[in-house]
Structure 1
Amino acid sequence: MTLPRYLTAQKISLLVLVDLYCNSVLPSSATIPVLSFILSHSISPVSSNARPRSPGYGDASFSIEAFEHVLQNHASSMPGRTLLDVFLKHMWEMNSFDALHQLFDNIGDLLLKTREDGGQEFTPEEFQDRVLLSKTSPLGVFVRRARLEFTRLQFDDTMKLWSTFIAYRAPTAQWTKRLAGLASSGADIVAADMGLRPGEALYEVAYGHLAQEMEDGIEISIDDFDRLLEFQLEKLQRLGCRVPDDMRTQLGSMLGSSGVILRQSHLVKFFDAWKAGDYTSAFDNLHRYYDYAMQTREKIHYQYALLHMAILQADFGCFGEAIAAINETIATARENQDMTCLNFSLSWLNHMSKAYPKQMKGVGYMGMLGSERDGLTFLKAKAKEAKMYNLLSATLLNEAKLCLGTGDSISRAFEYMYQGSHLNIKENINNQGSQMLLLSTLYSRLGITHLSSVHNELLLHCYERGCPIDERIRASCRCALTATRYGRYDEGLHLLEMIDVSTHRSLRFHQYLFLCTTLIKLRRSICRTDWAACESYLSSLIPDSSTDPEISFALSEAHIEYLIARGYYTEAFDAIEKLSVSLKEESGDILQRVLMLLAKAELFGKVGKPERGFSIALRAASVSFKARLMPCLWSAAGLLASILNSIGEFEAATRLLHAVIPQSLENTDYVLTGTLYSHIGDSYIGLAGLDDASTSHGARLRAMNMSQAEMYIDRARECFKRTESIDGECEQLMKKAVIAKLRGDEKLAEEWAQNHERVWNEGKERILIREESK
C-alpha cells in the first residue's frame, strides 16, 4: 500500500478549522491556541534557539481527539455552543464526495488577491468580517499547497482520501446530540438519498472498505513521514541515542509499505548503526544517503557527508582517514561559504587534538589553529560573528576546561563558565549537561565533594530529558565512583545497574559502563587483597587508545595501585615513568601529572627510601597549591609528613597534618583521611619516644602523646574498615598491639594481635567464599 503524497484526513480537518477561523469571529482567548494548533501540525518545524519545541510539536498522526482538546473549552459566537460544536457542524456538513471538492474550490477565496492576480491589494468592504490570508503567510502557504496537491490527485486517490476522511471523522458522531441530524445520513448523503445501504452491491463498491480502514488506524502522508524522520534525526544527533526497538519496527513497516525511498531514512539507519557499533552498515547507509542527495542535485550536503565521515572514522580509530576527511570538509565548507559547517569542523578538530594528542600526532596532524588557546580564541570570535551561540557556549566551556587542565586561575575558569551559563539562559541553549559536568569536576578538584555530587545529581534529576545520553552516563559513573570513596561499593554498582537497559544497545556506551563497573570491582578487590580477582579484572581493563581519555587514565592509575599493593615495585615504577612521559609529551591534564608525582613519591616510601621522594612530594604540593588541586595537596602533605617521620622530624609532621586533616574530612575520602590519620598517629608515637619518662613531666607528656596516637590510630582503622581495606586495618591493629606492648600490657597486646589475625582471616574467608560461589 502506497502512502499519500501530502493530503491526509488530518490535513482536511485542519483546512476545515482554517476555514472556520477565517469566516467566523473567534474569542480572543481562542485565537492563539487555535493558530498554534494549526501551525504546529501544518508547517514543518524549524530548529531555533529562540524557544524550545513542545513535546507534541509537529505530530503528524494526531487523532480527531486532538481537536476536541483544543476547541471544547472555548465558546463560539453562537450562544450555548462551543467552538467544538461549530467545528463538528462544518465537518459533518461535508457529507458527499462533491462537498469535498467544494471545500477545496472555496478555500481559495480565503487567499488575498493582489493586483497581479487581477484583484485588489486591500480587503474589500464586503469582506471586512473575514480574515484573508496572504499567499506568503504560513496559513496561506498551507492552503495553497493543499489546493495544489488536491488538483494533482487522480480519481482513485481522491476517492481513497475521501474514504479515509470518513473513517477519521466517524468517532465524532457520538460526541454531541446536535450532530444527530447531520450524522444520520451516514458516510454519504447521496448514497442515503438513493436508498443505498450497507450490504448492497453499489454501496459495497464505494464504501465497503470503510470498516477495514477504521481498523487500520490513522494514515500519514509521505510529507508527514519525512517530518517524522527529521524528528528522529534531531533526537539521534542531539541525544546520541539509538532508535527504540518499537519505533524502529514501526518506521520499517511504514517505510516498507510506502513504496518510496526517503533520503532521511538512510541517515536514520546510519546513526542507529553507528551507535550500535555496526560500522559496515553505518558506512553503507551514509554513502546511500549522500549518493541520493547528489542524484537530486542537493550538493549543499556534500560537506556534511564528509564531516560525518570524519567523525565516524575517528570513532572507529582510523585517525588518518578522519584527518583527510575533515580537511576536505573544511575546504568544501569554505568553497560553499558554509560558516556553520566550517566553524563546527574547526571546533571538532580542536577537540580531537586535545582528546587524542598522541593519535593525532601519529598521523601527521601538527595543528591548524596554532596553540589550543589561540584556536579557542579564533573559534570564539567566529562564533560571535556568525551568531552561532551553541558553538560560542561550547567554546567558553572549552576555555574553562583549558584553565583547569593547565592549572590556570580557578576564578578565570568560573568566569568562563558563568559567561557560558548566561549565554545558555539568554539564547535558550541546551548545554546544561556539559556545564554541570564541568562544575562537578571543578568542585571535585577544590575538594568540595558535596557540591560535586550535587551537580551530578542535578544533571540526572533536572536535565536528564534534554541532555545527551553520554553526559547522563558520565554523571552516573561519577556518582558511582564517588560512592566508592565512601566505601559504598555496592551502592556504586547499584547506580550503574539502574541505568536504562536500552543504553547498552550502543556499543560505545556499553563499553564505558563495563569499564566503570569493572574499575569499581577492581578497587574493591585491591582493598580486600583479592589478587586473583584483581588479575581477572585487569585482563579486561587494559587501557585502549580508543577509549575515553578520562577513563583510560583511571584504568592506568588503578593498575599502578595494584602493582604497588602487590609489591611489584619495579613494574610499578616503569608504569609510572611511562605514563608520566606520555602525559608530558601530550601536555596532559595537570591533575593527572600531579597524581603520577604522588604515586612515585609513595613508591619511594614503600621501597624504604622515603628521602628520595621528598623533592617529588614537595613539587607535587607546590603545583597542587597553585592549581588549587586540594585533594592532591592533602595527599602530598601526608607524604611529606611520612617522610618527616622517617627522619625524626615528628613535630613538623604533626603541625603539617593538623593543618590538612580538617580539610580532608570535608572531602570525605576515607582512604585519604585514613592515611593522614595513620601518619599523625606515627608522629605522636615518635613524639612519645622523644619524651623523657624519668621525670614526672616527661612521663605525662609521653602518656598524653601515646593516648593521642591511639586515638588517631583508631580513627584511621575506622576509615580503612569503611573502605574494606584489609591491609590498612591490619596495619592499625598491629600499631595498637605495639602501643600496648610499649605500655607493658602484654595481655592487651596479645588481644590486639589476635584481632589482627581475625580480621586477616575474615578477609581471606570472604575471598574463598566468593571463589566457591563462582
Structure 2
Amino acid sequence: MAMPRYLTGQKISLLILVKLYCSSALPSAATIPVLSFILKHTIPSVVSNARPRRYLEHHELSFSIPTFEDVLQGYTSSMPGRTLLDVFLKLMWEINSFNALEDLFYSLGELFDKHIEENGHGIPTDRIHLSRTSPLGAFVRKSRLEWTRLQFDDCLKLWTAFIRYRAPTAQWTKRIASIASTGVDETAALMNLQSGDKLYNVTYGHLGDEPEEGANISIDDMDRLLEFQLDQLQKLGCRVPDDMRQHLRNMLAPSGALLRQSHLVKFFDAWKAGDYTSAFDELHRYYDYAMQTRERVYYQYALLHMAILQADFGCFGEAIAAINETIATARENQDMTCLNFSLSWLNHLTKAYPKQLKGAEYTGLLGSERDGLTFLKTKAKESKMYNLLSATLLNEAKLCLCTGESVSRALEYMYQASHLNVREFIGNNGSQMLIQSTLCSRLGIAHLSNTYCDLLLHCYQDSCPIDERIRATCRSAFGAVQQGRYDQALQLLEIIDLSSHRSLKLHQYVFFCIGIIKLKRAIHRTDWVACDALLSSLVTDSSTDPELSFLLSEARIDNLVARGHYWDAFNAIENLSVTLKEEVADVLQRINMLLIKANLFAKAGKSERGFSVALRAANVAFKARLMPKLWYAVGQICAILNAMGEFEPASRLLHAVIPQALENTDHFLNGTLYSHIGDSYIGLAGHETEFSIDSRSRTSNLSRAEFYIDRAQQCFKRVEDIDGECEQLMKKAVVAKLRGDEKLAEEWAQNHNRVWEEGRERIGETVVGM
C-alpha cells in the first residue's frame, strides 16, 4: 500500500474537530486546550536561527483516538449531560458513507469568511470563521487541495483508513452504538450488503486484517519524523537506535516512498558507525536528489557534510576543497546559517588539526583564530544565530585558556554564554560544563572540576551530545587516576554502554583513554613488558584527538625516562616541543614539556642545567594561573636548590606551595613535593652536623625529614609508584644511619627489598591474569 501524501484518518479527525470549534460549541475553558492540540499536530516545524527547532516525536505523529479523549473528555458541551468527546464522536460517526466524507471536504469551504461574503449573506455572529492565511485556515485549505488531488482509488483507501481509525469508539456510549449499528457504510446497509457478499468483501473485506505499521502516517508526517531524527543525530552525535531503525524500515519499505531526509539519516548512521563507504554512497544519493529536484538549498548542506566526512576520514585536502565550495555556494544563495556554520567549523578544523592542514597547503581564510572568532561573533549577533553565538563565546573562553591569557576574561566569556543559554533556551550546557571543569582543574581545584563533570553526567545527560558525555566520563576517570584509584577509573570507562552510541570514533576515544590509564599504571609499577605491549597497541593517526595524542606522547617520554633511556627521551622531548611550537599548542602542553625536560636533567645528574628551564616553566605557569604546573615547577626548582646545597630556601618554597597542592589531591605531585622537602631537612641536618654542635636542632630536622618522607611514601604507595616508594624507604634508612641506629637502618633496607619483591609479584600476577 502506497503511503498517503498528506491526508490520513487522524487528519480527518482533526478537520472534524476544527468544524466543532468553528461551530462555537466549545466552552471558553476548552478553547485554548483544543486550539493548542490542533496546532500542535498540524503546523510544521519552522526553521529559526534564534532558537532550537522543536519537532514532534513519533508517538505524536501517529496519535490515536485516546489522545482526543484526553483533551475533550474533561469539558462539558452545550448539550446537557454530554461532554465534548461525545459531540466529537457523534460528528465522526455521522460520516457514515463515502459520500458523507466527500461532503465533509466540500463543506469545509463554509468555514472561510470570504466564501460567505461572495454569496452576499453577511457573517453570522454565532459562528467562528477562519482567515485563509491563519494557521487553521492554511490547514483546512491544504486538506481540501490534497483531497482534490487524490485519485478515486486513493480516496477509497483514505475512507477505509478513517473507518479503521474510528472503529475503537463504536461502543463508546449507547448513542454512538446506535449510530454505528448500521455498519461501516450506510449505503451498504441500504443495499443489504453484509460481510460475506462479494461486493462487500471487495470494498471492506480487508478491514479485519492487522494494520501495517505506519498505516496512519503520511509522507508529510514521515518528513517531520525524519527531521526529528536528523535533529537528534546532529545534536547528540549518536546513531539511530535499533528499534527506531526497524520502525523506519517497516514504515518506508512497503510504501515505496523515497524521501530526501532518509538519505541523510542513513548517512549519519553509517558515518558514526565508521562505515565510510556507505556514508559516501548515501551522501551522493542526497546530492542526486538535490540536483534532480533543483533544490539548491540542499546542495550546499550536502557539500558541508561532505567536508566534515572527508576531515573525519583524514582527507584534509578534499575537506578544504569541499568547505570552500560550501562557503561559495552559501554566499551565492545568501544562506547565512550555512555560511556562518561553515566558517565556524573551518575555525574548529584549523585549531584541532593545524599540522594536517599545513600539509594540505591551507593558507587560512579567517586570518588568525582570534580574528575568526570575532568575525563569527559579529555575524552571529547580526543574524541572531544564538546557538552559534554561544558556541563562539565558549571558543573564545577556550582560546584564553590555551594562550594563557587572563582567567577573568575567560570567566566573562563563559558567563555570557551561560546567560545566553538560559535566556534563549539553548542546549549548550555540556560544552559549558566541560570548559568550566577545565578551568577549575587548571586552577588546582580538582574537586570542583570533578563536580562539573558529575553535574553534566547527572543533570544534562539527556540533552548533551554523546561525545561530551564520554569526555566528561574520561575526565572523571583521569581525576581518579591522580588519586591512585586506577581500578575505579577503569571501571568508569568500562561501564560505558557501548551499545548506546555504537560510534567508531567514540570507541577509539574510550580505547585510547583506557590504554593511557593502563600505561601510566604500568610505568609507575615499572612493568616494562606491559608498557611495550600498550605502546605498540596505542598508535595515533591523523584522526586521533589532539589531546589524547599529546597524552600518549607524554606517556612515551615518561616511559623512556623511567627506564633510563635519557638520550632517546631528550630527543623525543625536543621533537615534540618543536611540533607544539609550530602548531601554537596549548600553553599547558608546552609547560609540561619544560617540566619533563627539567626532570630529565635531574635524573641524568645535571640538575643545574634544568634550573633555567624549571624557572621559565614556573614563570609561565604563574602568569597563566596553571597552579598544578606551578607547584610542580617549584618542586623542580627546590630539587635543584637541594642539589646545590641551598636547603633553607628550598624548604621555605616548599612550605609555601605544599598546602595549596594538597587541595588538588594529586598524590604523585604531593609525594614529589614531600620527597623534596624531606631532602631539604636531611640536608639541613647534615649541614648542622658539619658546622654546628646543636644536636637538638639536628634531631628536630631529622624528625621532620622522617615525617615528610613517610608522607611521600604514602602518596607514592597510593599511586602504585614502586620506584618512588622504594626511594623513600632508602631515605628512611639514611635517616636511621644519621641517628646512629644501624639496626633500624637495616630494617628499612629489608623493607625496601620486600616492597620491591611484592611489586614484582604483583606484576607477575597481572601478566597471568591477562
TM-score for both structures, normalised by structure 2: 0.96
Residue in 1 aligned with 2:706?
Answer: 710
For 1:411 and 1:59, how far apart are their aligned partners in 2?
Answer: 46
Query: Contact 1:40–1:57 at 8 Å: present in 2 too?
Result: no
- Stretch moving more, 605-614 or 388-397: 388-397
Query: Contact 1:693–1:702 at 8 Å: present in 2 too?
Result: no
Structure-2 change in CA distance of 1:330 and 1:214 (3 Å): closer
Residue in 1 aligned with 2:3?
Answer: 3
Shift of 1:177: 4.6
Residue in 2 aligned with 1:86?
Answer: 87
Q: Which runs of 5+ in 1 are unaligned?
A: none
- Stretch moving more, 82-91 or 436-445: 82-91
Residue in 2 aligned with 1:63?
Answer: 64
- Stretch moving more, 615-624 or 97-106: 97-106
For 1:57 and 1:79, how far apart are their aligned partners in 2?
Answer: 37
For 1:262 and 1:645, how far apart are their aligned partners in 2?
Answer: 74
For 2:211 and 2:58, how far apart are their aligned partners in 1?
Answer: 25
Q: Which has the higher contact order (CA 8 A, sep 6+)?
A: 2
Deviation track 1:428-459 (CA, whole Å, cap 9, x = no partner) reads: 22211111111111111111111111111111
- Stretch moving more, 445-454 or 424-433: 424-433
Deviation track 1:366-420 (CA, whole Å, cap 9, x = no partner) reads: 2122222122112211221222222211111111111111111111111111111
Shift of 1:160: 1.6
Residue in 1 aligned with 2:149?
Answer: 152
Residue in 1 aligned with 2:427?
Answer: 430
Residue in 2 aligned with 1:15?
Answer: 15
Shift of 1:499: 1.9
- Stretch moving more, 16-25 or 707-716: 16-25
Structure-2 change in CA distance of 1:647 and 1:301 (3 Å): same
Shift of 1:669: 0.7
Residue in 1 aligned with 2:492?
Answer: 495
5 Å-filtered alignment, 1:407-426, equals 407-426=404-423
Query: What amino acid is aligned across from residue 376 of structure 1 in structure 2?
Result: L
Query: Contact 1:267–1:286 at 8 Å: present in 2 too?
Result: yes
Shift of 1:129: 2.0
For 2:79 and 2:685, how far apart are their aligned partners in 1?
Answer: 99
5 Å-filtered alignment, 1:450-461, equals 450-461=447-458
- Selected match of 1:734 from 730, 735, 748: 730
Residue in 1 aligned with 2:114?
Answer: 113
Q: Which runs of 5+ in 2 are unaligned?
A: none
Structure-2 change in CA distance of 1:52 and 1:268 (3 Å): closer
Query: Contact 1:526–1:565 at 8 Å: present in 2 too?
Result: yes
Query: Contact 2:273–2:503 at 8 Å: present in 1 too?
Result: yes
Deviation track 1:115-146 (CA, whole Å, cap 9, x = no partner) reads: 9x8367xx9342x2222111111111111111
Query: Contact 1:41–1:58 at 8 Å: present in 2 too?
Result: no
Residue in 1 aligned with 2:38?
Answer: 38
1:429 match: secondary structure: coil
For 1:505 and 1:301, how far apart are their aligned partners in 2?
Answer: 28
Query: What amino acid is aligned across from residue 722 of structure 1 in structure 2?
Result: R
Shift of 1:579: 0.8
Structure-2 change in CA distance of 1:372 and 1:54 (3 Å): closer
Residue in 1 aligned with 2:74?
Answer: 73
- Stretch moving more, 318-327 or 631-640: 318-327
2:382 match: secondary structure: helix
1:618 and 2:619 are equivalent in the alignment: no
1:574 and 2:575 are equivalent in the alignment: no
- Selected match of 1:383 from 358, 380, 384: 380
- Stretch moving more, 733-742 or 55-64: 55-64
Shift of 1:26: 2.4
Query: What amino acid is aligned across from residue 5 of structure 1 in structure 2?
Result: R
Deviation track 1:468-513 (CA, whole Å, cap 9, x = no partner) reads: 1111111111111111111111111111122222245211111111
1:42 match: secondary structure: coil
For 2:226 and 2:691, how far apart are their aligned partners in 1?
Answer: 89
Query: What amino acid is aligned across from residue 511 of structure 1 in structure 2?
Result: Q
Deviation track 1:670-708 (CA, whole Å, cap 9, x = no partner) reads: 111111111111111111112248977x21111111111
Residue in 2 aligned with 1:124?
Answer: 122
Query: What amino acid is aligned across from residue 68 of structure 2 in structure 1?
Result: F
Alignment length (residue pairs): 769
For 1:656 and 1:108, how far apart are their aligned partners in 2?
Answer: 88
1:329 match: secondary structure: helix
Structure-2 change in CA distance of 1:714 and 1:178 (3 Å): farther
Shift of 1:296: 0.8
Query: Contact 1:40–1:58 at 8 Å: present in 2 too?
Result: no
5 Å-filtered alignment, 1:513-552, equals 513-552=510-549
Structure-2 change in CA distance of 1:662 and 1:161 (3 Å): same
How high is the sequence identity, in percent, across the aligned residues? 70
Query: Contact 2:674–2:708 at 8 Å: present in 1 too?
Result: yes
Residue in 2 aligned with 1:746?
Answer: 742
2:663 match: secondary structure: helix
1:691 match: secondary structure: helix
Residue in 2 aligned with 1:138?
Answer: 135
Query: Contact 2:58–2:225 at 8 Å: present in 1 too?
Result: no
Query: Contact 2:51–2:386 at 8 Å: present in 1 too?
Result: no
5 Å-filtered alignment, 1:211-290, equals 211-214=208-211, 218-290=215-287
5 Å-filtered alignment, 1:163-182, equals 163-182=160-179
Shift of 1:24: 3.0
1:671 and 2:668 are equivalent in the alignment: yes
Residue in 1 aligned with 2:680?
Answer: 683
For 1:626 and 1:720, how far apart are their aligned partners in 2?
Answer: 30
For 2:81 and 2:730, how far apart are their aligned partners in 1?
Answer: 90
5 Å-filtered alignment, 1:310-389, equals 310-389=307-386
- Selected match of 1:758 from 749, 754, 761: 754
RMSD, matched Cα: 2.0
For 2:662 and 2:76, how far apart are their aligned partners in 1?
Answer: 65
- Selected match of 2:695 from 692, 699, 703: 699
Query: What amino acid is aligned across from residue 41 of structure 1 in structure 2?
Result: H
